[in-house]
Chain A
Amino acid sequence: MPATYIRGKKTDNMENFIEVKNLSVSFDVRAGILLRTIGTIQAVNDVSFSIKKGEILGVVGESGCGKSTLARLILRLIEPKSGSVKFDGIDIFQLSKKELRQQRSRMAMVFQDPYSAMDPRYTIFRSLSEPFQIQNSRFKNEERRKKIDDLLKLVGLDPQHGFAYPHELSGGQKQRADIARVLTLTPPFIVLDEPTAALDVSVQAQIIKLLEDLREKLDLTFLFISHDLSLVSYFCDRVIVMYLGCVAEIISADLIGEHAQHPYTKALVESIFKTKPGQKNQAPPLEGEVPSPFNLPPGCVFVSRCKYAQPICREQPPVLEKSAEAGRVACHFPLS
């Protein structure tokens, strides 16, 4: 078994905290007065991976690749067509409503848009005390207030911010408040869906540093979704690259720059604009745009934009196979 590295430290043979197996979901598209099904959108297609305790797993891809749908599936906010998600050994799709609600206190999600993630008519304090009410927490009023004050301090806000309404806070402060809300029941697993996409770079850096700090202090495990490959490669231990609902490659974050094996991963790396003026990108950018996920053709989903495509790529979908260094790649002709 190859060694895994978490936050640069070597850890071996740890069991999987989250295990996702053959997860698929599709949405029927209906049209006309009779609402006949005219096709399906395969949003997430046979996705399998695992997350170890304490790990930060990144999911990266362009819009429409199924990143957010995947996040919602893992928390069972939507039901899958097939597949399973095991959370700490429990298959969450087998749970009854009541059991699921109990498990929910152990998993949480930070949403992309801090402007709409909080109820505008609730003060921050009230938003933060809601999880306690829903989960019938043992905390009484006094304790609850103290706990919320502590949480606000933990995320770098002032307890005074508890009296504020969301519109009174800046984007960064709102995202901090949202992170505090997520932490109320101290869940060990948090899904972060583009938590910094709406923020400026200086504030993005603040939030990333806060998350790094919280992970260390509270022993958290993250699934981090982003379209920003530089950010994902910096913040995460391993990265899943998705394209049109399929996993193209699972790769250690340290290897993504030089040793990407899937042509799409490589194209993503090459489309980054570096902040060093001298280091110009020589490679021509990827042609075309992500095709519509409506009625996907057989074969590899990336074939229409891949410059290495061969006849077999149009006929047979590639299987996600083990590649070097504990990575996996779904390509008939992986780059070396």
Chain B
Amino acid sequence: MTFLEVRDLEVEFRVDKKPVKPIEGISFELNEKEVLGIVGETGSGKSLTAHAILGLSTLVGGKIGGSVKFKERELLSISENEMQSVRGDQIAFIPQNPMTSLDPVYRVGDQIVEGLIQHAKVSKREAKPQVIKLMERLRIPKADRVFQQYPHQLSGGLKQRIVIAMGLCTNPQLLIADEPTTALDVTVQAQIMRLFSEMTRDRGIGLFLITHDLGVIAQVCDKVAVMYAGRMVEFGNIEPVFNTPSHPYTEALLDCIPYIGMKKGSLSAIDGNVPSAGNYPSGCRYHPRCQHSFSPCGTNVPALNQIEGGTRVACHLYQGKKD
């Protein structure tokens, strides 16, 4: 049984009475207990993909198309009421910025308890020891004291742990984390990512991790989806995609990252800029920046095809070379 199956997911917004599709053609699947990373540059549609899976895009006026099946249940056709019991209960979401996603006027403990009362139908008195236990497992020092504190009294790393506790408190089966470590220092990022891996592995939770940091993806994920300008360009197991990237964009993106011991002057860059939604080029959206671009790239949209090794690639270089 596939745990999460997404087929041809798209979101349409109307801007100045014209339809704009910031994301389209997103297809992937995730097995139970797997960690999937979604990587891409700003504006590539990573967060929007997560919001669409949770049905959140409709709340801001978007139209979601395609199919999202969670444990064989189609999420896009169920009512908002039913969806609310899926959100938080089965699929939890950890938003991007812990600094702004906590309410500044409530104690952090109460904010975690609130979710637990809502979904697990427990009383406030029962919830508190559970929450403190969870906070301790997330290695929050002096958890019963932190429980009573307000967000502004906590450091960035602690706030992030609180937000993770909010996500984990209802024992979800899938956790969607949107850039959970972007705002943190490197040493704290290392702690939090390790914690993430442990918590999801121990509890058998699937993790859907959104980040622009390819290093985090490489170290944490089993599978990776690379997005560019609202479309998925490559999807597969982490080792083949990162060690022998097939799509020219994945390859170029990996070459943009300096590493310790890299020879001076050997860094390569991708010329040009990421196009914004509404200004996407025709055909393959990467073709104006692609070094391998040839005749069909400017006109035909490449389909996401499986190639040798099980990776799926949307690139004309691989069309006709089906596995």
CB neighbours (8 Å) of A173 from chain B are: 273
CB neighbours (8 Å) of A285 from chain B are: 187, 190-191, 194
Residues 219-270 of B at the A interface (beta carbon under 8 Å): 219-220, 238-239, 242-243, 252-254, 256-262, 264-265, 267-270
Please, how many angstroms separate the alpha-carbon atoms of A300 and B215 in the complex? 31
CB neighbours (8 Å) of A170 from chain B are: 273
Q: B42 at the A/B interface (Cβ < 8 Å)?
A: yes
Q: Assuming the A-B contacts A230-B259, A268-B187, A285-B190, are A273 and B215 also in contact, with contact meaning beta carbons closer than 8 angstroms in the complex?
A: yes
Q: Kindly provide the distance from the CB of B50 to the nearest chain A CB, expressed in whole angstroms.
A: 19
Please, how many angstroms separate the alpha-carbon atoms of A269 and B187 in the complex? 9
Please, how many angstroms separate the alpha-carbon atoms of A284 and B212 in the complex? 23
CB neighbours (8 Å) of B261 from chain A are: 233, 254, 257
Residues 171-198 of B at the A interface (beta carbon under 8 Å): 185-191, 193-194
Question: Of all chain A residues, which has the CB nearest B156?
Answer: A289
Residues B215 and A202 in contact, CB atoms below 8 Å apart: no
Q: A229 at the A/B interface (Cβ < 8 Å)?
A: yes
Please, how many angstroms separate the alpha-carbon atoms of A297 and B158 in the complex? 23
Question: Of all chain B residues, which has the CB nearest A280?
Answer: B219
Residues A205 and B265 in contact, CB atoms below 8 Å apart: no
Q: Kindly provide the distance from the CB of A287 to the nearest chain B CB, expressed in whole angstroms.
A: 7
Q: A212 at the A/B interface (Cβ < 8 Å)?
A: yes
Q: Kindly provide the distance from the CB of B223 to the nearest chain A CB, expressed in whole angstroms.
A: 11
Residues B274 and A8 in contact, CB atoms below 8 Å apart: no
Residues B219 and A277 in contact, CB atoms below 8 Å apart: yes
Please, how many angstroms separate the alpha-carbon atoms of A231 and B269 in the complex? 14
Q: B216 at the A/B interface (Cβ < 8 Å)?
A: yes
Q: Assuming the A-B contacts A7-B264, A280-B219, are A205 and B187 also in contact, with contact meaning beta carbons closer than 8 angstroms in the complex?
A: no
Please, how many angstroms separate the alpha-carbon atoms of A231 and B193 in the complex? 21
CB neighbours (8 Å) of A62 from chain B are: 185-187
Q: Kindly provide the distance from the CB of B131 to the nearest chain A CB, expressed in whole angstroms.
A: 22
Residues A231 and B258 in contact, CB atoms below 8 Å apart: yes
Q: Kindly provide the distance from the CB of A202 to the nearest chain B CB, expressed in whole angstroms.
A: 4
Please, how many angstroms separate the alpha-carbon atoms of A200 and B270 in the complex? 11
Residues 263-297 of B at the A interface (beta carbon under 8 Å): 264-265, 267-271, 273-274
Question: Of all chain B residues, which has the CB nearest A210?
Answer: B269
Q: Assuming the A-B contacts A205-B269, A280-B219, are A200 and B42 also in contact, with contact meaning beta carbons closer than 8 angstroms in the complex?
A: yes
Residues A201 and B212 in contact, CB atoms below 8 Å apart: yes
Residues A277 and B264 in contact, CB atoms below 8 Å apart: no
Question: Of all chain A residues, which has the CB nearest B43?
Answer: A200
Q: B213 at the A/B interface (Cβ < 8 Å)?
A: yes
CB neighbours (8 Å) of B215 from chain A are: 272-275
Q: Kindly provide the distance from the CB of B258 to the nearest chain A CB, expressed in whole angstroms.
A: 4
Residues A202 and B270 in contact, CB atoms below 8 Å apart: yes
Residue A202 contacts which of B189, B193, B218, B256 (CB distance < 8 angstroms)? B256
Number of chain A interface residues as a range = 35 or more
* Per-residue contact bits, chain B 35-46, to A (CB 8 Å; 1 contact, 0 not): 000000110000
Residues A204 and B186 in contact, CB atoms below 8 Å apart: no
Question: Of all chain A residues, which has the CB nearest B249?
Answer: A202
Question: Of all chain A residues, which has the CB nearest B238?
Answer: A277
Q: Kindly provide the distance from the CB of B154 to the nearest chain A CB, expressed in whole angstroms.
A: 10
Residues 263-297 of A at the B interface (beta carbon under 8 Å): 267-278, 280-281, 284-287, 289-290
Q: Assuming the A-B contacts A230-B259, A234-B262, are A289 and B188 also in contact, with contact meaning beta carbons closer than 8 angstroms in the complex?
A: yes
CB neighbours (8 Å) of B191 from chain A are: 285-287
Residues B260 and A272 in contact, CB atoms below 8 Å apart: yes
Q: A94 at the A/B interface (Cβ < 8 Å)?
A: no
Residues A274 and B190 in contact, CB atoms below 8 Å apart: no
Scoring B42, B256, B270 by chain A CB atoms within 10 A of each residue's CB, the highest score goes to B256
Q: Which 5 A-B pairs have the closest CB atoms?
A: A273-B215, A234-B258, A285-B190, A205-B269, A271-B190
Given contacts A274-B259, A276-B218, A287-B191, 8 further A-B contacts (CB under 8 A): A8-B264, A200-B41, A201-B41, A203-B269, A205-B258, A273-B190, A274-B215, A285-B187
Report which B residues bind A (CB closer than 8 A).
41-42, 155-158, 185-191, 193-194, 212-216, 218-220, 238-239, 242-243, 252-254, 256-262, 264-265, 267-271, 273-274
- For this complex, 28 residue pairs linking A to B, each with C-beta atoms less than 8 Å apart, are A62-B186, A170-B273, A201-B41, A201-B256, A201-B257, A202-B269, A204-B256, A205-B256, A205-B268, A227-B185, A229-B260, A234-B264, A234-B267, A268-B186, A268-B187, A272-B186, A272-B215, A273-B219, A274-B215, A275-B214, A276-B218, A277-B219, A277-B243, A280-B219, A285-B190, A286-B187, A286-B190, A289-B157
Report which A residues bind B (CB closer than 8 A).
7-8, 62-63, 170, 172-173, 200-206, 208-209, 212, 227, 229-231, 233-235, 254, 256-257, 267-278, 280-281, 284-287, 289-290
